[in-house]
A and B are shown apart, each in its own frame.
Chain A
Amino acid sequence: MLFKNVLGQEPAARIFENILKHGRLAHAYLFAGPMGVGKFRFARELAKILLCAEQKAGSDLRPACDRCPSCRQADREQHPNLRITRLAPDEKSIKINDIRRIEREIIMKPIQGKRKIFIINDAESIVEEGFNALLKTLEEPPGYSLLILVTNRPDAILPTVFSRCQLIRFSPLGDRVLRSFFHKELKLNQPEAEVLAHLAQGSIGWGCYLQEHDFIRQRACLLERLGDPGGASRSGLAEEIIAYAQRHKKSLEGNRQRVIQQFKVLALFFYDVLLGHYGLDQYVVNQDQKKLLRKIQTASSPGDITRILEVLMAGEKALKLNANYKLVVENAVCQMNFN
């Protein structure tokens, strides 16, 4: 396992193990795949392996030792032969000057070691002139250089740049990887980790992002409202959804996305109810909510649940089409009745 510090992404790891074994490293790669699946981490790990001081000339590459000064510098992004460019937090694009700096640095021979590695994260946000400036470098790069562009929107890469890089695709991570990561790193309990894994769409980054926005606590609130007896709770549920959306309206995706996320939590829950109806308990995700699941299961018929799922899906679709989110939420919650 050359890439021991990277979660999942076995296909990419296998590709690079082969490339490195045969000494066929290209001069430029494009790492493309959804956000938060470890593309950048993979690129940095690759750099670390190539720069590690423990590598012996002539023999096969070994995993990064994580101990030598080189590895430690690489981990802290302080390595002299590893230059990382990324979108600054308050900027909208990677500017031409950043690319020019890379061009200037790439022609200087490496000072320690044999390689100079340049990683451009968020490569989709390079300005057009920047891409054009990169072309020259990509056409005749110095032999010691390696350039890795990392992006979640390969379509936004200038085609002429795209065609000069070798494309490595990164896929969403498996639920198992996500579950264990959320359990270990975010200290979530098993069912919560499972729910987050389901909602994270294969992306650790997205999962962490949700968690940062109190998502697991919000799920608990939603399910508690759902379990409340009587009609009053239903309006409470709608209020809860809208309040959360408004609390986080400045976040990445805006109100509608916040509502969609909550609909997904509810849909996942109702889907579990449906599984219960058919006796498929082993597939249930919301294991920590057994009591509530059973309660709603006894109060509803499979037909009810199917209808609710349809309502939630229709709501999601409407939100994506820019419907008024408050109306959508109220409408959906009104139709969430089952007796």
Chain B
Amino acid sequence: MKITCERAQLQEAFQIINPIIPTRSTIPILQNIKIIAEKQTIFLIGTDLEIGLRYEIPAEVKETGTIILPTQRLGAILRESTDEKINIESDGHIARIKTKIGYFKILGADPVDYPDFPEFDTKKAFEIEASGLKEMIRKTIFATSGEITRYALTGVLLEITKKELRMVGSDGKRLAFIKKKSEQNVPQNIKVIAPPKGLILLERIIQDKDKKILITLEETQLKIQVPAGGSRKHPIFLFSGLIEGNFPDYANVIPSDSDKKVEIPTAEFAAAIRQAALVTTDKFKATKMILEKNTLTFFSRTQDVGEAQVKMKVSYDQKPFEIVFNPDFLIDVLRVIDEPKFTLEFKDKTSPIVLKIGRNYVYLIMPLTVDV
């Protein structure tokens, strides 16, 4: 392999791939980056086997080839150098890197040991609007569970039908559901659980300029291609493994018989609940919401800390009502809501609080049975 490429581009690629590559692994070869040189392009590949990413950059390729190099060292060389161009030559598993003032000989690993990287099949792929997907990820992923004992809940449920995309995140105490109209050519409805890692990475990669992204779904993995466009000259390809397991039937959980409804202005509500949560502690996270005629009151009280009472005006003229819940669950969702208004729906003290934005976003919180 013999290549010359722009250092800035290589470093940019590095910054995207680096977070994926594990610093410690039971399979040491994964701590490396794989570089493949083909005509006029080099491919940079990194994976931790859960997710993987392939990044392309243009390069002057004098000799094609493949090399596996330790990520940390190569990254450090790129960081320290100020050159415009950088030269990499390989000889077996050894790379020789030339900069203006430096010459490095870095020992690599045998490419045979590196796990196969999947290929993206554009023919099987369907298109999804990039900004819509980004929003869907952002609005569901925060609700997933960090506990591995309920492993299906550590991921986001992805449902794809011919006319709709749906995503659901839940940790058992709350649930976020979003759907979007989107036509795609899928032979049948698809239902998979994707781990958050890959989705977070995708959310980060998608830029405002991106219009469409391509997706293929297989039994064991989700493959995504962010096509070239805007300032991006080459497509990025990433894959994510899928979680085995059954996602709980979320449709049954979303209540349809909530009889109390109130419309809420987002910014004011967010400020109020954050204030009410001030006196809660990690050990005792509970806030009471009291709805009376045209007033909404938050009340928190924690032993040894104190009390907080925050009022705001709302238009409400149904029966007075109160419910206790974990304020963090509402604060979390308010961070991802961009809309100026949403509605809250209730049935009784033991039924979930339902937050709705139009017909497409539903967020549920299970109430607490303690009193404050």
Q: Give chain A's interface residues, CB within 8 Å of chain B.
A: 69, 72-73, 76-80, 83-85, 100-101, 103-105, 107-112, 136, 142-144
Picked from A76, A110, A136, A142, the residue with its CB within 8 Å of the CB of B149 is A136
Asked whether, in the complex, the Cβ of A109 is within 8 Å of the Cβ of B244, the reply is yes
Residues of A within 8 Å of B243, CB to CB, are 107-109
Residues of B within 8 Å of A101, CB to CB, are 26
**Known pairs A77-B27, A78-B28, A105-B49. 19 more at Cβ < 8 A?**
A73-B112, A78-B27, A78-B29, A78-B113, A83-B27, A100-B148, A105-B50, A107-B154, A107-B244, A107-B245, A108-B241, A108-B242, A109-B244, A110-B220, A111-B118, A111-B241, A112-B116, A142-B244, A144-B244
Q: Tell me what chain B mostly uses at the interface: helix, strand, loop, or mixed.
A: loop
Closest A residue to B149 using CB positions: A136
Cβ of A172 to closest chain B Cβ, rounded Å: 30
Interface size class of B (residues with CB under 8 A): 20 to 34
Closest 3 CB pairs of A and B: A109-B220, A80-B115, A142-B244
Cβ of B220 to closest chain A Cβ, rounded Å: 4
Q: Give chain B's interface residues, CB within 8 Å of chain A.
A: 26-29, 49-50, 112-113, 115-116, 118, 148-149, 151, 154, 195, 219-221, 241-245
Would you list 8 pairs from A and B whose C-beta atoms are within 8 A, ordered by A residue?
A79-B115, A108-B242, A108-B243, A109-B220, A109-B241, A109-B244, A142-B245, A143-B244
The total of interchain contacts (Cβ-Cβ below 8 angstroms) comes to 63
Closest B residue to A143 using CB positions: B244
* Cα-based distance from A85 to B242 in the complex (angstroms): 23
Count chain B CB atoms within 10 A of each CB in A72, A108, A144 and give the residue with the most.
Answer: A108
Picked from A72, A83, A84, A103, the residue with its CB within 8 Å of the CB of B148 is A103
Asked whether, in the complex, the Cβ of A107 is within 8 Å of the Cβ of B118, the reply is no
Closest A residue to B49 using CB positions: A80
* Cα-based distance from A77 to B243 in the complex (angstroms): 24
Picked from B29, B113, B151, B219, the residue with its CB within 8 Å of the CB of A107 is B151
Asked whether, in the complex, the Cβ of A108 is within 8 Å of the Cβ of B50, the reply is yes
Asked whether, in the complex, the Cβ of B242 is within 8 Å of the Cβ of A72, the reply is no
Asked whether, in the complex, the Cβ of A72 is within 8 Å of the Cβ of B220, the reply is no
Cβ of B197 to closest chain A Cβ, rounded Å: 10
Asked whether, in the complex, the Cβ of A73 is within 8 Å of the Cβ of B148, the reply is no
* Cα-based distance from A67 to B188 in the complex (angstroms): 39
Known: A73-B113, A104-B148, A109-B220. A83 touches B244 (CB 8 A): no
* Cα-based distance from A79 to B113 in the complex (angstroms): 8
